[in-house]
Amino acid sequence: MSTGFSIAVPSKGRLRDEALARLEYAGYPVAPPKDARSYRTTVAGRPEIEVAFLSASEIARELGSGNIDLGITGEDLVREGLPDSHDRIDRLLGLGFGQADVVVAVPEPWFDVDTMADLGVVAADFRQRHGRRLRIATKYWRLTQQHFSQTHGIQLYRIIESLGATEGAPAAGQADVIVDITSTGSTLKANHLKILSDGVILRSEACLFAPKLESLSPARKAAISEMAGALEKNGKPR
Amino acid sequence: MNPLRSFSARADIETILAELGADRVDVPVLQPADPFLDTAGEELRRRIFLSESETGETLCLRPEFTIPVCLMHIGGGYGPRRYGYVGTVFRQRRAGSNEFLQAGIEDIGDGDRDDADARSVADALSVLQALGVKKHAAVTLGDQAVFNAVIGGLGLPKAWALRLAHAFGDHGKIKTALDALSVPAPVPELPADILEPAEARDRGALLNALRMRLRIAGLEESGGRDAEEIADRLMARFEAATVAPDESALAVLRAFLALRAPVAKAVGALSDFGAAHGLALGEVISAFAAREGAMQDAGVDMDAVTYDAAFGRPLDYYTALVYEITAPDGAILAGGGRYDRLLTMLGAEEPVPGVGFSVWLDRVAAARGQG
């Protein structure tokens, strides 16, 4: 028997279904859990490969703490959920599903605002005009801050943490602009929001991630890269 | 351990502050986070320790003293007062300690700005000296008001003036802003109902079209940007796209930012600069000179003070004087400045002048070894 390792897979929805389909297509069919309420199983006929069903954001956390060897989850959750994710996690492979962009969107009638630089100018005298800072509704505060403060040098804004229906925040008067995830842009459009021309913060998709660990045994490393290789060779099932 | 952290050392520091005539103030360690994030910006969020009260109020461990002292001043409804403090501030860092000992004086409400500014610099130097930093402490002095006067005199578009003013003191940001300014911004793509009135410079029709668009988007009553603001900026962009960027204005600005002189020669250098480029700097130069005189009267060793035109803080509540005091190895021992815009930002109903400084006591302890 080859060396064992563990992989975490999203526990529900399309991400789960697509991830399981890709694993099966790559020659790693996941056995249904023995107990329907259980969140743990193995690859069929390969009891040494543990499979854990976790929520997509929990997978990001578990990758960060190094508790799992591999994880399939959205890149947005890893970049947002973990500080220094580029130093701590390897993105082994994009899996071609679960695509969505994290974007900066402003009200469509802001015809004078097309770029981050334009937004920076608006932010600069926002307090003078409105008695408060420009407000950004988002659940991605880490990515927002990196994009605004570090990439574009925009400092004068406030993040309003939003836990759902972020795209409705401007019309509700809760925020002026938003940073949110979008796959087709149709929800933004329906809410009269537009994406800035340099407002794509991250093009996210479901990816195979592994913690950067020095201490893995060579046998375990080989078993892990065998799975990654199989997933890479066997693309999207038709 | 830093010898200045002992109880007796803290008592000594309180005595030093009291001898300078400051009222001792106790600032709670736990502070509401909003005033800090509102004034200093979201970048601070990564660098402060946030917590939450049972009722959901966002709190933080105080990252500095100026804002809480100003809030206490506003809350107490006090007249002019000088506050002295010593205590720990908390900042998140990747490496090294997250706790720093600070002492300082905030001078709030004194309308005689020259005297208050001079006293602030003199007091900061006195504190350092009393703590054993004997020689070679260098003062770098900048002035936001001079910078603003130069930008104003160059006739740059308002939006650009604002952007440059916010970048002031941050060399990287200033350079980015200057580079961007030297390229004309293209006019954005617009639908016909907006483009036509904008091209015709028909403000009334543009406002109507924008109001219609805002109504459709459900933003009419949202309390955010309105049609006037969008129309103003849009018209300004059409103007800017037809006017070539003024290369000579940018060259003058770059020359200004390169000015650096012993403070005794700064007034002469600024006058020459203003005259050479036809800028009316008389008012800010006489304010600069008056402050310089007051600093001399306050006993500041003027040979140790250098004026640096590019020195500033990229925070929009600093209004004129900013300064820092460094050890021979470049470590910043103390920083200060005038923040006449801060108290209204924090909720004061009338403008209240303020100037203050903080001493980084951990660095002072290290610098004492350098003699």
Q: Give residue limits of the domains in chain B.
A: 1-134+352-371, 138-183+246-326, 192-242
A170 contacts in chain B (CB < 8 Å): 219, 222, 224
The beta strands (E) that lie in chain A are given as 5-10, 40-43, 46-54, 70-74, 89-94, 100-107, 134-138, 157-161, 177-182, 193-204, 206-211
Please enumerate in sequence order all residues whose Cβ is within 8 A of that of B108, keeping only pairs 6 or more positions apart, or say none: B69, B70, B73, B78, B80, B81, B82, B83, B343, B352, B353, B354, B356
CA angle in degrees (0–180, nearest 5) for A149-A150-A155? 20
- Mean pLDDT over A106-119 rounds to 92
A106 contacts in chain B (CB < 8 Å): none
- Mean pLDDT over A13-39 rounds to 89
Amino acid identity, position B38: D
CA separation, residue B300 to residues A5, A182, B216, B270 (Å)? 69, 59, 62, 21
Q: Which of B217, B222, B229 sits opposite A129 (nearest CB)?
A: B229
CB B279 within 8 A of CB B153: yes
Q: Which of B217, B233, B316 sits opposite A107 (nearest CB)?
A: B217
Task: Give, as one character, the DSSP assignment of residue A30.
Answer: B
Query: How far is B88 from A41, CA to CA, in rounded Å?
Result: 51
Query: How far is B293 from A214, CA to CA, in rounded Å?
Result: 63
> How high is the pLDDT of residue B249?
81
CB contact under 8 A, A153 and B216: no
Radius of gyration of chain B, Cα coordinates, nearest whole angstrom: 23
Q: Which of B42, B166, B214 sits opposite A145 (nearest CB)?
A: B42
- Mean pLDDT over A138-152 rounds to 90
| Beta-carbon pairs below 8 A across chains A and B | 103
Question: How far from chain centre, in Å, is Cα A206?
Answer: 7
**Two tokens, residue B34:** 């909003």
- Which residue's structure tokens are 């980084």? B360
Query: How far is A12 from B211, CA to CA, in rounded Å?
Result: 44
- For residue A219, count other CB atoms closer than 10 A to its CB: 12
CB contact under 8 A, B224 and A109: no
Q: What is the mean pLDDT of each run of 10 residues along chain B (371 residues)?
A: 74 91 94 90 85 90 96 93 95 86 95 94 94 85 92 76 72 76 74 90 93 90 87 83 69 89 93 91 93 94 92 84 92 94 91 96 82 45
A158 contacts in chain B (CB < 8 Å): 37-38, 42
CB contact under 8 A, A108 and B217: yes
Backbone φ and ψ for B72, nearest 5 degrees, come out as -65, -40
CB contact under 8 A, B316 and A171: no
CATH for the stretch A100-203: 3.40.190.10
What is the Cβ-side half-sphere exposure of residue B328, based on CA atoms within 13 angstroms? 10
B223 contacts in chain A (CB < 8 Å): 130, 173
- Which residue's structure tokens are 């509700």? A172
Every domain of chain A and the residues it spans: 5-98+205-233, 100-203
Concatenating the DSSP letter of every residue in A70-121 gives EEEEEHHHHHHHSTTHHHHEEEEEE-S-S-EEEEEEEETT-TT--SHHHHHH
CB contact under 8 A, A112 and B234: yes
Residues in a beta bridge with B306 = B140, B262
Q: Does B175 touch chain A (CB under 8 A)?
A: no
CB contact under 8 A, A173 and B221: yes
Q: Which of B38, B163, B222 sits opposite A170 (nearest CB)?
A: B222
A169 contacts in chain B (CB < 8 Å): none
Q: Is B233 annotated as a binding residue?
A: no
Task: Collect contacts of B85-88 with beta carbons under 8 A, ≥24 apart.
Answer: B85/B17, B85/B24, B85/B25, B85/B26, B85/B27, B86/B10, B86/B13, B86/B14, B86/B17, B86/B361, B87/B27, B87/B29, B87/B62, B88/B29
Greater pLDDT, B186 or A202: A202
Judged by DSSP in three states, B315 sits in coil
Task: Give, as one character, the DSSP assignment of residue A44.
Answer: T
CB B187 within 8 A of CB B241: yes
Nearest alpha carbon to residue A234 among A98, A89, A96, A31: A96
Q: Does domain B1-134+352-371 have CATH number 3.30.930.10?
A: yes
CA separation, residue B217 to residues A182, B197, B212, B221 (Å)? 19, 20, 9, 10
> How high is the pLDDT of residue B371?
45
Q: Which of A108, A121, A155 sits opposite B43 (nearest CB)?
A: A155
In chain A, the residue whose alpha carbon lies closest to the alpha carbon of B192 is A111
- What is the b/e burial string over B84-114, where b = at least 16 CB atoms within 10 angstroms of the residue's CB? bbbbebbbeeeeeeeebbbbbbbbbbbeebb
Residues in a beta bridge with A1 = none
Answer yes or no: same fold for A5-98+205-233 and A100-203.
yes
A172 contacts in chain B (CB < 8 Å): 222
CATH for the stretch A5-98+205-233: 3.40.190.10
Which range, of A19-23, A139-143, B42-46, B170-174, averages the lowest pLDDT? B170-174
Residues in a beta bridge with B209 = none
B253 phi-psi bin (left φ>0, alpha ψ -120 to 50, beta other) = alpha
pTM above 0.90?
no
Q: Is B102 annotated as a binding residue?
A: yes
CA distance B283 to chain A (A): 24
> How high is the pLDDT of residue B146?
93
In chain A, the residue whose alpha carbon lies closest to the alpha carbon of B162 is A124
Query: How far is B246 from B154, CA to CA, in rounded Å?
Result: 9
> How high is the pLDDT of residue A184?
86
Greater pLDDT, A127 or B161: A127
Please enumerate in sequence order all residues whose Cβ is within 8 A of that of B19, keeping only pairs 6 or more positions apart, or say none: none
CB A113 within 8 A of CB A154: no
SS3 assignment for B74-88: HHHCCCCEEEEEEEE
Query: How far is A60 from A85, CA to CA, in rounded Å?
Result: 10
A125 contacts in chain B (CB < 8 Å): 159, 162
Q: Does B314 touch chain A (CB under 8 A)?
A: yes
> How high is the pLDDT of residue B184?
67
Q: Does B241 touch chain A (CB under 8 A)?
A: no
- What is the b/e burial string over B169-188, where b = at least 16 CB atoms within 10 angstroms of the residue's CB? bbeebbebbbeebeeebebb
Backbone φ and ψ for B324, nearest 5 degrees, come out as -145, 155
CATH class, B138-183+246-326 region: alpha beta
CB contact under 8 A, B345 and A127: yes
CB A200 within 8 A of CB A152: no
Q: Does B166 touch chain A (CB under 8 A)?
A: yes
